Amino acid sequence: MPDKKTTSQEAGLDQSAEEQGSSIENNENPAQDKSDDVDKMSVEIPDEAAIKAHGGEALDISEKEAELKDQLLRALADVENIRRRSERDVAQANKYGHLSFARDLLSCFDNLSQAIALSPEDKSDLDENLKNILVGVEMISNEIDSVLQRHKITKIDPVGEKFDYNHHQAMFEVQNDEIEPGTVVQVAQPGYLLHDRLLRPAMVGVSKKVSQTESDDTSSIDKQA
């Protein structure tokens, strides 16, 4: 007769084996379980309208970037033009800024020059005080002339030159067949230039040929005399 203890042990072993088998069956294919979980997940795929909407937004952004870039380049160009214009204005101001002052000074210098021209060349017979005054005036005139030259103010004294409408103003004509017509033969008042800009034109007399009628009249008067 089998032992009851042995029989119960065998029964326990069979039961444990069955439990292990069932657990193995439950965990037999874990990858399959995971794939089942993935299949159960809902994957959202964007439709065509959403794709087009995103593409339109990207296109709008690129257009705005191009517009901003164009505005930036225009602003930089404007700044560069303003800088160059400012530099040119500063250079012009430094070069011609004293034009009005120089033009007003010329009339005073002309009066001083005329006073010197009226004084006698030989001053030995003059009173000592008067002679010293005239010598001082001449020194002042020479100093002013040096200052004008230092500031690029040059005199226009065109005797013997061809008449130039840009720098000369004809005040009268002088009949002369020995000189080419249109030649400056006399300067009533000298002109001045500031660099290449005219401060005042020279007041001049210009030569012209004697007409045939005038020459005939002159010869008839000589015969009658």
Give the closest residue to 115 by CA, choosing from 131, 134, 97: 134
In a domain, residue 190? The reply is yes
Q: E strands within 1-136? A: none
Residue 102 in 3-state DSSP?
Answer: helix
Please spell the DSSP secondary structure of 182-204, one letter per residue: TBEEEEEE-EEEETTEEEE-EEE
The 197-200 sheet, strands edge to edge:
153-156, 191-194, 197-200
In a domain, residue 104? The reply is yes
In a domain, residue 23? The reply is no
Structure tokens, 31: 């990858």
In a domain, residue 180? The reply is yes
Q: How far apart are CA 62 and CA 55, in angstroms?
A: 11
Structure tokens, 16: 């444990």
Note the pLDDT of residue 170.
Answer: 93
Please tell me whether the overall predicted TM-score, pTM, comes out greater than 0.85 for this model.
no
Note the pLDDT of residue 185.
Answer: 93
In a domain, residue 54? The reply is no
DSSP percent split of the chain into helix, strand, coil, nearest 5: 60, 15, 25
User: CA 202, 203, 206: angle at the middle one, nearest 5?
Assistant: 110
Note the pLDDT of residue 64.
Answer: 86
Assign residue 169 the CATH number of its domain. Answer: 2.30.22.10
In a domain, residue 118? The reply is yes
Element of type H or E holding 153: strand 153-156
Helix axis angle, 128-150 to 99-118, nearest 10°: 150
Structure tokens, 114: 């005329």
Note the pLDDT of residue 62.
Answer: 82
Note the pLDDT of residue 107.
Answer: 86
Note the pLDDT of residue 5.
Answer: 43
Note the pLDDT of residue 55.
Answer: 55
Q: What is the pLDDT along the chain (225 residues), one digit of tens a residue?
A: 444 444 444 444 455 545 544 444 444 444 444 444 544 444 455 555 555 555 556 667 788 888 899 999 999 999 999 999 999 999 888 888 888 888 888 888 888 888 888 888 887 788 888 888 888 888 998 999 899 999 899 999 999 899 999 999 999 999 888 888 999 999 999 999 999 899 999 999 999 988 755 554 444 445 444
Q: How far apart are CA 191 and CA 156, in angstroms?
A: 5
Q: Can you give the residue range of the structural domain that contains 167? A: 99-208
Q: How far apart are CA 40 and CA 82, in angstroms?
A: 69
Note the pLDDT of residue 50.
Answer: 54
In a domain, residue 112? The reply is yes
Residue 202, exposed/middle/buried by CB under 10 A (0-12, 13-18, 19+)? Answer: buried
Could you give the number of structural domains in the chain? 1
In a domain, residue 25? The reply is no
